[in-house]
Each structure stands twice: as structure tokens, then as C-alpha cells.
Amino acid sequence: MAYAPSASGKGAMVWEMNEKSRYPGDPQGQAWVAGVKQGFLVKSVGGIEVSNYEFWDIMDLLDDKIKDNSAGKFQSGGQGSMGNKPLELPLTIEYAELNVNEDDAALGMESTGNKVDMRDARFADLPSDATIKEYRIPKAQPITSEVVESMRGYVAGLPEPSPVDGPRYSGKASLSGASIKAMIADFKDGKLLPMKDAYQLAIDAFDILKKEKTLGRVTVPEGKKVTVVGDLHGQLWDFDFMLGLAGLPSADNQFVFNGDFVDRGPWSVEVVFSLLAFKVWQPDHVFMNRGNHEAEMANTFYGFFGEVEVKYEKKMTELFADLFRATPLCHVINNEAFVVHGGIPGPDPRVWWKGIDNQISFDGRQLQISLEEIENSDRFMEPNPNMNPLMVDLLWSDPKGKEGYGPSGRMSSGIYLFGPDVSRNFLVHNKLRMILRSHEVKAQGYRYDHEGEYPLITVFSAPNYVDKAGNLAAVAVLTNKGSQLQGPEFLQYAAQPHPDVPSGAYAMGGPLHPDGLVVEST
């Protein structure tokens, strides 16, 4: 169904597949019948050894860049630097199963991928194939980007936009609440920032974000408030309606945008440029957390990069990849509330077993991770559970009702569920009162997933997600009264009417993806 590259961009791994065959000869089940498994690597294609090829060079040979369909047509133009052409069918593909030790060695890490000691009381209920790894936190380094530096000259050389009836950006001084509201109105009328302006706004935002810590601090003065906004997913009309309810960012009304700004929704470009305009205009009162969809792999498959290429040019996707890597992972408000897209630190040691079973849990963290450790961790990379398990925990994990840790069903290994005891221990250790997170659709737009003295609350701000979910959306408002945060109070709203452009229109295989997908009628 889909492949994915390694963290270095080399090789191709089976990312998504049907682990069953629905009927004899099912085209989406033949790989499973032949013995292929999720996580297998492509070793050779048509007898050509490709394990060290760049990802897109392998995809060019396979001509298999999007989910399978019954069109029987080549699905995408070439993207690799080698300029490979699709090989003739029928085609033999050889796969390899990479063991844990080899995988870690390829990532430059020492492996502790051994079976757990079942005599250890902590692991008594785990399956016999459970494995264990060391939990490592890479240290932060000053963020520098060759991509962004090279683009400064490129942008300077772009022609000045001719007079246009639409949004403009000419530096921070050109921004105000009124100008950004007018920009959003222009976006809704189908008008875009000119190419030069768009690049410059993204670069200016990158220059601000790269100076921030992986864990940022938000101070809300007495009598003032902060609004936490969950997933937006490119739903421009709903985003604009939310601003009408919550107001615009200011010193009196600060905002934390809690990740998943883009993908799926077909106005992700407009939403993210609106957020960047707010950030450049009010850098001390607008805060951004990275979500699991602010990542190259997600953006390639789920639409944002396709949308950027259609509305601007493919080169701009490189800028956004580094801008998202520079975005902080979490914030703490008034030393009381921890705000993060996904969840909190996972088990240490890193125990893993296959399958979801909430009746099986284990107490997997004996040493608590401090806010300072998160603050000083490296974030300028793509999420990878071997290289940076902490980042994956913060972006991907979810709460569950039963105490302890358990495996998640999201995507692949290394993503966890965590119980109320885990969130309580993290909050107590760091002298915090609550966790606000997003990442999951909630019918009412919010939910207390862990209640009590140390609550964990999910806030989701994309109503009728992917035009199908039927959910309300919400934002959470916290007010400093009596030198303590009160709330949160929730502003709820329903999906707003919008032009008839389907969710996922720019995703791989979508009707507006730049590679196109021509299906001939018969």
C-alpha cells in the first residue's frame, strides 16, 4: 500500500500493507500471501541491488509512489536524482528483514534490542517476544539549516510581485491584526501570497522558531488568558470561525497552536501561512508546537507537500521541512500546564511487544524525565523511535484508561499508550497541575481522558474532521486568576460551510495531487 524512507532518506521500507487477503487474487493482499511483512526493506528490484539507493530512486524503479488502485496506470512522474525509469512488468522484488541490531547500527546507535527478562516482576504479564531497548535523549545543538541559508539568496533574486489584488507580506512591520484578518479573507477568496512574499514569511518565521527551546515557557499575567488550539489540519473556514470566537493573539490573549496545522484539509497552505504571520507579528505571544503531521513523511503522503507544489513550487517543500524541524515540541504555561501534541515520555527501558491489549500493561518508567531534559533535547530531525524516542513520545503517544504503558496501534513499533498513573507521576515530578494535548478526534472537541487532581485533557480543533467524522471542535481557554490558572473553559464550534474541495485532495492519489492520476472510463 505504501513505502517509507529511513531517517537518512535512503532505502525503502514497507510502511503500510494489508496483512490479509480479502479474496483469492486480491491485489492488495498478494504481498502478504507471498510472505512480506510491514517493516521489511526493499533489497533488490528486478535484480538491481537498491538497499543503498535514495528512496525516490527506488520508487521510480517501482513506479509505486501512492496507494495501489485498480486504474492500471502509472501513477506518478519520476522524482529521484538518478532519473530512473519504471522497470518492465512483471517485476521481481526481493525484500530483507532487518533485525534490531542491524537497524540500530545503521542509525549509529548501540543496540539493547534484547528479549526482556521474564523473571523481572515489572514484565511478568508481557508476551514472551517482548524486547527491550535503552531510552536515549539526544542533546540539543544550535539549529542551522543549509537549505534555509541557500534560499535567502534564491528569494532575494525572485522578481518583485507586480501589483496584485490580494495578500502581501513585506516584513514584520507590514503585519497587524487587521492585515492578517484581511489576508485570511483573501485566502478564502482563492488568493495567495505572491511567491517571493511566501518564501520570505516562512524564512522570517524559521529565524524566530530556531532560537526557541524544544520546551518553551509561556507566562500569562494576572487577569490575562491563553488559548490552546488543537489540530487544525488545513480547515481554513473552521480556523477563521474559531478566531472569531477566541479573538486574535495579543499580550492579553496569548495562543498556543498545538500541532497538526497541515495535511488532509485542502487549505493547509493558507492555514500555515496565517499561523506564521501571527508568529512573526506577535512572537512573544504566539507559540507553536510541532505535531506528528509536521513531518516529511506525513506531508508527502497526506497532502501538504503536494499542495505546496501545486500552489507554489516543489522547492518550497524543502523550506517547510526544516521550518517544521525547528518548531518546538511542547510548552509549559505558568509552570502549571504542560501543552504537547501527543503525550509524555514513554517507558524506560524501552519495552516493546506486538499488538494492542489494554489488559496488558507495565510500569515502565522508574526514572522520571524532567522539563529541563526535554528543554535541552534535540528536535531538529525527523521523528524516529530509534534515534529520538522522546520526540516520538511527545508527538505520537496517546492516553489510555488502564494504568501503566501499553503498545499503540498507530503506524509502527515504538509508539505507546500511557495510563493515568504515568501522567500523574510526570506531573508530580515536574510540579505541574495538568496536561493539555491534541492528536485525537473527540466528539465534543475535548475530553478529560485522565480525570482527578492531575487531569489530562485532549483538545481537537478541526470540526467534522476529513469531512466525515461529524465531531464538534473546541479550543481551551486558561485564565490567570489569583495567581493560578483557572479552567480550562472550552469554546466549542461546528464545521463551517466551505467550497466543495474534498479532504485529501492533495494527498497521494488525490484528485489535486501534482503527479495527477488519470483513470480512463470504460
Q: Which residues are catalytic?
A: 293
3-state SS record for 180-220: HHHHHHHHHCCCCCCHHHHHHHHHHHHHHHCCCCCEEEECC
Cis peptide before 349 (omega within 30 of 0): yes
Alpha-carbon dihedral sign for residues 490, 493, 499, 501: positive
Among 193, 99, 210, 209, residue whose Cα is nearest residue 155: 193
Dump the DSSP string for 270-322. HHHHHHHHHHHHSTTTEEE---TTSSHHHHHHHSHHHHHHHHS-THHHHHHHH
Measured at the CA of 378, the angle between CA 407 and CA 392, to 5 degrees, comes to: 15
- The secondary structure of residue 224, as a DSSP letter, is -
Cell numbers 502509472: residue = 74
Q: Which residues contact 408 (CB under 8 A, 6 or more apart)?
A: 356, 396, 397, 398, 415, 416, 417
The order of strands in the sheet holding 416-418 is: 398-399, 416-418, 405-407
Q: State the Cα–Cα distance between residues 269 and 304, nearest whole angstrom.
A: 7
Q: Residue 241 corresponds to which cell in the numbers above?
A: 470561525
SS3 (DSSP) at 113: coil
SS3 (DSSP) at 230: coil
Q: Which residues contact 488 (CB under 8 A, 6 or more apart)?
A: 228, 436, 457, 459, 476, 477, 478
Cβ-in-10-Å burial (0-12, 13-18, 19+) of 429 comes to middle
Q: State the Cα–Cα distance between residues 38 and 102, nearest whole angstrom.
A: 17
